[in-house]
Chain A
């Protein structure tokens, strides 16, 4: 297990390095002078020169890269172009909002999607299975930004049941939760479909196994067979999917965060790209990538923990 962990961590470090390299290269591949792009067309030559010096843009590219990597390794992701605040601090202010949104979105999707998949698999080709199938494909097909807009129009603009913008009053948990409902619904909806389809497919496969037949033959209650034995095995590929989904959601929250004007990593990246605030873009994408890698790593470890066959193969 230790060897496995070391190998995975080493691989993760290589991926992070590649991401840093790509991000850094992108800055220099964008047409136009980075300083002029960042400060706008009417910036004075003095301001452009000051910016170039501050961001080390007057150094050779390889040296800029080395400086960035060395600083990033110590947690220093540079300074915000405009406010001069540390990028790391800015990201830390926002990341909690994104994690809360992703956690809630994936949480409710799991709560609904996994039972739906089980029910569909227990009674294949029944009306319940067919309805679940149509619902799942439907939710997968509708993009989250569309769900966001419709949810906003229906529940906030028309019915006025839920707030439309922001993350709620700091320190008021109830207010913050109410502000979380619509965006979490929007980003989680398609995952209900994904999870239901995945659990159904896994369950159908597992339900045909000999040990399930044996359990039934011993007269165990159906509920115990399904939830105690079948789901325990069928859930394993779903954990991988959830891990990848959680990581993917971190970047896909950008639509929900923009539409609902919530602070978060996605909106931070969007705003920074719009303002050509490259240190923020680099730092935030790097952190989002790190989170993605971490979540996928955790899901792999969980699978190894739950499944003795995987443990033994390590």
Chain B
């Protein structure tokens, strides 16, 4: 072997010097010092697809809300979620059940020289969505009629009461520049081809997304000139970063929420965006062990939901009385059954059932497992032996679907949680007759429920809608196939120096954050 210029000693010396470089003190610059006008937040992953038609959802919607026009935005009317016209329109009115007139505000300009925001951009953006991954949100849309440069009418093919609330306010309702989209081949992923909003967008994959003030923006100035969204996958890591003073606001988990609620640190506050998750324990009404409604009703009475809320969720979640979440039209005040083990035993005796053994399937995360164990203990008290079967998300989400195998036939009990948009329509759509074997894993059908589902979509009167959705939940409950459990909140911990603005489903809207 030939001797080269690098000796063993030299090799070790160089390595040692590199190691020492990493240990050199004094380089702890002001990386975590407060910078004026900068809002520091967390996102849980990279924004892979910013295109509203093909996004995965989540923080991509947050980016769209800062950089693209929306015709409507969420608002609160007391305790109820509603909508209001956004800054981008001077008019947004539902003329009748199938026509929504709009007029864009004056002076809205796309970046990169793509000119003013036009009604034809709205037409392009919404009609394009009918062929996208989010086409479900535009099923009711027939077309958009352009009546002037800034005016037009959204024409629905059939009445669809929640269109503004769940489509126009949400990510799929973003408006794109038709010219810019033509230049990028009608699709984009990690960069907006043109923006019209208070911020421009730049991202460093794996590290952060940065929103800086848009020099071409003529609308209301946001409270912060710059927003830094750090990519932090784990909620716990984000919580520690908040405690280290490196974030101004972050989402928190149930246990941390309980800790903060009990002992709030100085300069810290909690904001709850919404509680649009609904969790229940389902029962397969077709399974031989559960075909008798008295057995199902016995199980409803045997589960102590209050203990689950305390034991698994530290009292941080709202008790559920149905599938319609808090703040939405149709939410029920109470369930038609209560925790009553004696009544459960009576019902089982009446049904002639003893020594019943059931399997409870659940996703294998901490809260669900705790909830399952409490249910297991509750049912044991009335003489039902429960085996808890934790599952990974792959097999869990397929187990009730007929198209994915035969597991649906063996389903007995399961813990399920769905998320929804701020309108009761979406939560009810999974339990119609045509959803049996798809998402209606409880496998019941009811003609009245199906009829009410259609009526709820068409009905625009708030009180009538409320009554429709309350009745639909009563029908569900009367099948005995549901034990309502809770609605988990989208909670954020934040510095008291800022005011948080979030959509009911938890997406933050940085442009509407305030300084205290």
Chain A residues proximal to chain B, CB less than 8 Å: 1, 30-33, 36-37, 40-41, 43-44, 46-47, 80, 82-85, 90, 93-94, 97, 103-111, 114, 152-153, 156-157, 160-170, 172, 174-175, 177-181, 184, 232, 235, 258-261, 263-264, 267-268, 270-271, 274-276, 302, 304-306, 311
Contacts and interface: CB of A to CB of B under 8 A. Distances in A.
B32 A163 contact: yes
Given A163-B246, A258-B237, A263 B205 contact: yes
Contact of B22 (A180, A259, A306): A180
A261 B237 contact: yes
B395 A32 contact: yes
A300 B31 CA distance: 40
Is chain A's interface secondary structure helix, strand, loop, or mixed overall?
A: helix
A83 B32 contact: no
Contact of B233 (A36, A97, A163, A271): A271
Contact of B23 (A31, A181, A274, A305): A181
A183 B15 CA distance: 18
B151 to A, nearest CB: 33
B334 interface: no
| The 9 A-B residue pairs with the shortest CB-CB distance in the complex, in nearest-first order | A107-B19, A263-B206, A32-B394, A104-B22, A83-B48, A41-B397, A82-B48, A164-B244, A261-B232
Given A31-B394, A165-B232, A165-B246, A178 B8 contact: no
B112 interface: no
Contacts of B205: 90, 93-94, 263
A161 B28 contact: yes
A108 B22 contact: yes
Contacts of B232: 165, 261
Contacts of B136: 44
Contact of A304 (B1, B16, B207): B1
Contacts of B398: 32-33, 36, 41
A107 B18 contact: yes
17 contacts: A36-B394, A47-B133, A82-B49, A85-B48, A94-B205, A103-B18, A104-B19, A110-B19, A156-B244, A161-B28, A181-B28, A232-B8, A261-B230, A261-B232, A263-B231, A268-B206, A305-B1
Contacts of A94: 205-206
Contacts of A41: 397-398
Given A31-B394, A85-B190, A261 B231 contact: yes
B28 A178 contact: yes
Select the residue from A46, A94, A177, A181 with max chain B CB neighbours within 10 A.
A177
Contacts of A44: 133, 135-136
A111 B326 CA distance: 59
Contact of B189 (A84, A180, A271): A84
Nearest to B228: A166
A35 B24 CA distance: 48
B90 interface: no
Interface in B1-49: 1, 8, 11-12, 15-16, 18-24, 27-29, 31-32, 45-46, 48-49
